[in-house]
Every structure is written in structure tokens, then in C-alpha cells.
A and B are shown apart, each in its own frame.
Chain A
Amino acid sequence: MAREDTPLDQEVFDRVLKEQLEAGTDKRVAEGRARSAAVRAYKTAHPEEEAAPAAAASGGNGEAQAPAAAAAGAAPAAAAAPAQGQAAMVAAAPASAPTRTAPLPTGNIPSPKKGAPDKHRLLALVPPEGIQRVEREQGDRVNVWPHLLIEEFVAMFVLSVGLVVFSTFVNAPLRELANANLTPNPSKAPWYFLGLQELLRYFHPLVAGISIPTFILVGLAAVPYVDRNPSNRPGDRKIAITLFTMMFMFGAVLTIIGSFFRGPGFNWTWPWAQGVFFEL
């Protein structure tokens, strides 16, 4: 539907234009505001035209043909769309148009008119289904800058200070040169593997060293596909939380035993009696 064809209330147009111009508004802006007020006034006064399909108007504008035809799939919805205030943006198609068709390329590339300015404004015609509608609940949101970034900065700062202070006073261990002929007693893995080393006391290496770690990793990765409970409220997830906590505590206890309660020969020692055999 061409802009000039939109019915409007001339009386309201004149009145608003005068008001706007008196208020010192730029002429073009004033005209735009007056027009929108007049169109709204006309629509309020003629509600019966709202529901009528815009088929009669669709032939008016040559450039609007292609997107208009594209809207045919959703013709009733598209016909209602202009009524919802999108008249200038969306040209609705006749309800009978069967398929989406784009005009064949003519090969005629329009050249700018003589004396046309270098920059000019374009009005895009967009069929309603061409707009990607993002449905997202807005909820209670805050700006990342400054709120989140400041929090992250403080966390980074606190961690850095803690690490710098610790590194200033506690030296990382460096034992004597590696010697393939001299096995230290006890010889321990890094602390995060000491739970597994502890398991080696009870099971065959194939079980403790291969099967169980594989099971833990694969099991962890499978968690979201096994736990199909959609709720994330702790009250609804008693089984999941209990199981995970038990496994986590089990691993932690094994690691602590392997770290602090195992001495020479990886035999049981009490840290307060025989001392701690643990290096980071």
C-alpha cells in the first residue's frame, strides 16, 4: 500500500502539523508526526476497515509486489498485520496468491536520477515471516558493565593476591635429580590421582586404573542424558543430589586417605603419629 493512499483524518493532520510547527519542530518531523496522528485518528474512527483484507491496495506499488507475494502463505495473518500499525512496513498479499514467487530478473539495473544526492534513504519492505522473532523472557536483568565486570575483577584480584602471597612464602618442591634406579618410598602420584592410587590397593590395576576412571569420565559426560528431570530446584532433585554428593565425597575421602594416611610402602600411617608423606 503506497504511503499516499493511506486514508487519514485531514482535520487532525492540519491541527497536529500546526501545533508541531508552532512548537518549533523541524518541518519534515512535524509532517511525519501529524501524518501518524491523522492515520491513527482515522483508524479509530473507522474500525470496520481494519479487518478488511488489503487486497485492493496491493497493486498500487510496483516495488512492493515481490515481498507482498511472499507473504501469501500466511495471508490472513498478513492481512491483519497492517491493521496493527505496520501499514507502512508490511504490504499484505491477496489471499488467493498461491505460492511464493520472486520476479524474474529483468536485467534492468536502475540508475540514479540526475542530480540525486549521493546518500539517500531507503525504506525496506519486509514480509512478516522474514523477520526473525526472538522470544526470550526479559526477566530481571542487569547490565554486565558495571555490575558483573566489577564482581569478576574483584574475584580475580582476591585470587591473585592470595596466590602471590602464598607463592612468596611457600616454595614449590624440587627434589634431587630423577634416578631410574632409586625408587623413593613412598612414591606417589600427583594429589588428584591419589584417590585412584588408593583404589590400586584394593583392586587389580585394570579395574582401579583403567575401568573406574573410564567409568567416571563417561558417567560424568552422560549425566545430562541420564538425569531427565527438568527441574533445577534442589527440592525436586533429592536423588540426583544425593548420588552426586556421595560420589564426590567418596572421591574426596579416597584422595585424602591416599594423600595423608599412606606412608612408606603405601601402607597405612596416622599423620599425627608417623608424619605426612605428601608433596604437591
Chain B
Amino acid sequence: MKLKPPSPSEVGDRLRESEVWKSIFRPGSIFRKGYKDTSRDRALATMNNVLYHLHPVKVKRHGLKLTYTFCLGGLSFFLFILLTITGIFLMFFYRPMADLGGSQAYTDMQNIRTLVFFGDFIRNLHRWGAHLMVITVTLHMARVFYTGAYKPPREFNWVVGVILLFLTLGLSFTGYLLPWDQLSRWAVAIAEGIAGYSPLIAKQAQFLLLGGVVVGPDTLLRWYVLHVLALPFVLVLFLAVHFWRIRKDGGISGPL
């Protein structure tokens, strides 16, 4: 008897029939054996995937038209994820420490640009992605306005969206200080000057934001914590409500 080694497709079939494989890929997964391009399996593909199940099984056809949404909300979310990943990378090489003479933060920035493998590239992605996210979020708001998507029952989701826009600006601005160069130091000084004019609580607002009376090492630490932890945390909470309400309010608005 001649023993023949199994062909690659046989190995693939055996693998996909194994209990381990079936335990990982739920019914409806396109990686599971027996996936058929039927309505049922298409529905299961959406429902049985942790990422895709944010979507409903079906959407209104007009919502697919590029000129209806321009994918702006989705791209904003994608940029948020991209910024989280590149941001985590940068956190490995950055310490939010400044003092009057030198500055660890600035030295770390220089090291990221020159010594860290791909450091400059990742920083570029993070910086340009952040600017782009401010643009996509703003344009997303404009799109929602022009399609009248804030009308009942979606009023509250628009409010959540305005909060998300505010948080996006806050994230971008707190990140702007972190390089601790002349550009960021003085951009923040302008905002700090404005906060000093807020009625009744001028001194308190300034002190809270700066951790002192002028932009200094404590400001850097404070804005760093806001940038990498506090604001993303709050943003994710509102993002969850935002996405949940899209579904609860009946999916994509329209058609016009």
C-alpha cells in the first residue's frame, strides 16, 4: 500500500473541521467550513462577529451611497483606533517630564525622531492622523446636518456627537503640548490666556488646567494624563452611546 501525503486542500479541510477551529469561528464566519453565500449566512456573518455586530444585519440601500455619508463617521472611528495604536507605541518612548533647564519630554521627542525604529514615521502618522480626525469629525457633523439626520428620533445622538467633537478637539489640543517645543508651549499659552478671562472662575480654571499659574512641568504632566487616559476614556464612553443610539434610533437616516 502506498501512503500518499494529504494535499494542502485536504489539510485545510481537516483543519476547518477540527473542534478547535469550530470553537473559534462561530457559525456564519466566512472562515468556517460550509459557509454558503446565502441570506442566512450573510446575516450570521454580521451577527456572530464581535466587531461587525455593531452593525445591523441589513441597512437601507441608500445608505451605501458614498455621497450620502462619505464614510466620515466610520473614518473618524477608524482614525481614533489608529491614533490609539500609534499613541500606545509613542508612550513606550516618551516621558512627560519637564524642568527649567533641560527637558526629558523634549529629549524623548528627539529620540523618537532619530533613534527609535520607525519612531519618526509613527509620530507622523499620529500627528497627521490627529489633524485629519479633527477634519473628519467636523465634516461628519456637517454631513449629518445637511442630511437632516439630527431630526427626531435622533436629537440626542446629535448632542452626543457635539460632545464627541468637543472631546476630539480636547484630545488634539492636549496632545499638542506634549512635544514641549516652542510651538506647543506657546500655542497652549494662548489658550491659557483666554481661560484667564473666564468669568468668576478665571484663576481657578487657569490653575486647574495648568497645575500652577504658568505653563510648566505640572501642566505637561496634567495634559499628558488627560491626553492618554482621561479624555480617551470619556470619549469611548460617549462613542459607545453614539453607536448604540444609531441602532436604537433606526439606523442610518434618510433617504432624502
Shortest CB distance A119–B (Å): 21
Cα(A149)–Cα(B194), bound, Å: 44
Closest to A252 in B: B138
Cα(A89)–Cα(B103), bound, Å: 76
Q: Mark B181-195, 1 if CB is under 8 A from A, else 0.
A: 111111101110111
Cα(A139)–Cα(B155), bound, Å: 23
| A232 pairs with B147, CB closer than 8 A | yes
- Cβ of A45 under 8 Å from chain B: no
* CB-CB contacts below 8 Å: A230-265 with B: 230-234, 237, 240-241, 244, 248
Cα(A159)–Cα(B145), bound, Å: 23
Residues of A within 8 A of B243 (CB): none
Q: Mark A196-223, 1 if CB is under 8 A from B, else 0.
A: 1100100011101110000001001101
| A145 pairs with B183, CB closer than 8 A | no
Cα(A245)–Cα(B172), bound, Å: 25
| B129 pairs with A163, CB closer than 8 A | yes
Partner of B155, one of A140, A148, A171, A225: A225
Shortest CB distance A157–B (Å): 10
* CB-CB contacts below 8 Å: B168-225 with A: 169, 172-173, 176, 179-187, 189-191, 193-199, 214-216
- Cβ of A97 under 8 Å from chain B: no
| B155 pairs with A190, CB closer than 8 A | no
Shortest CB distance A266–B (Å): 10
Shortest CB distance B252–A (Å): 10
Residues of B within 8 A of A147 (CB): 59, 64
Known: A151-B66, A279-B183. A143 touches B46 (CB 8 A): yes
| B60 pairs with A141, CB closer than 8 A | yes
Known: A141-B61, A147-B64. A174 touches B113 (CB 8 A): yes
Residues of A within 8 A of B146 (CB): 234, 241, 244
Known: A144-B46, A155-B75, A232-B254. A177 touches B180 (CB 8 A): yes
Cα(A177)–Cα(B183), bound, Å: 9
Closest to B41 in A: A145
Shortest CB distance A181–B (Å): 10
Known: A159-B75, A209-B194. A237 touches B148 (CB 8 A): yes
| A144 pairs with B190, CB closer than 8 A | no
Shortest CB distance B134–A (Å): 5
Q: Mark B211-246, 1 if CB is under 8 A from A, else 0.
A: 000111000000000000000000000000000000
Cα(A119)–Cα(B79), bound, Å: 51
Known: A145-B42, A152-B71, A237-B148. A170 touches B103 (CB 8 A): no
| A193 pairs with B191, CB closer than 8 A | yes
| B179 pairs with A174, CB closer than 8 A | yes
| B181 pairs with A280, CB closer than 8 A | no
Partner of B46, one of A145, A187, A196, A221: A145
Residues of B within 8 A of A196 (CB): 194
| B199 pairs with A206, CB closer than 8 A | yes
| B56 pairs with A144, CB closer than 8 A | yes
- Cβ of A142 under 8 Å from chain B: yes
| A148 pairs with B128, CB closer than 8 A | no
Q: Mark B56-87, 1 if CB is under 8 A from A, else 0.
A: 11111111101000010011001100100000
Cα(A232)–Cα(B158), bound, Å: 15
Known: A152-B71, A166-B128. A175 touches B182 (CB 8 A): yes
Cα(A175)–Cα(B172), bound, Å: 18
Cα(A190)–Cα(B69), bound, Å: 27
| A156 pairs with B78, CB closer than 8 A | yes
- Cβ of A270 under 8 Å from chain B: no
Shortest CB distance B132–A (Å): 7
- Cβ of B97 under 8 Å from chain A: no
Cα(A190)–Cα(B135), bound, Å: 13
- Cβ of A224 under 8 Å from chain B: yes
Residues of B within 8 A of A223 (CB): 145, 150, 158
B interface residue numbers (CB < 8 A to A): 39, 42-43, 45-46, 52, 55-64, 66, 71, 74-75, 78-79, 82, 98, 102-103, 106, 109-110, 113, 120-121, 123-129, 131-132, 134, 138, 141-142, 145-152, 154-155, 158-159, 162-163, 165-166, 169, 172-173, 176, 179-187, 189-191, 193-199, 214-216, 250, 253-254, 256
- Other contacts beyond A172-B124, A210-B197: 20, CB < 8 A: A141-B59, A143-B43, A144-B59, A149-B52, A166-B128, A168-B124, A174-B113, A177-B182, A178-B184, A180-B215, A182-B182, A187-B186, A187-B187, A189-B187, A191-B131, A206-B198, A224-B154, A230-B152, A234-B146, A248-B142
**Would you mind naming 28 contact pairs between A and B with Cβ atoms under 8 Å apart?**
A136-B250, A139-B61, A141-B59, A142-B59, A143-B57, A143-B58, A144-B46, A144-B55, A145-B42, A156-B78, A163-B125, A170-B124, A171-B124, A172-B123, A175-B183, A178-B103, A178-B185, A192-B138, A193-B190, A205-B196, A206-B198, A210-B197, A224-B151, A224-B154, A232-B147, A232-B256, A244-B142, A244-B146
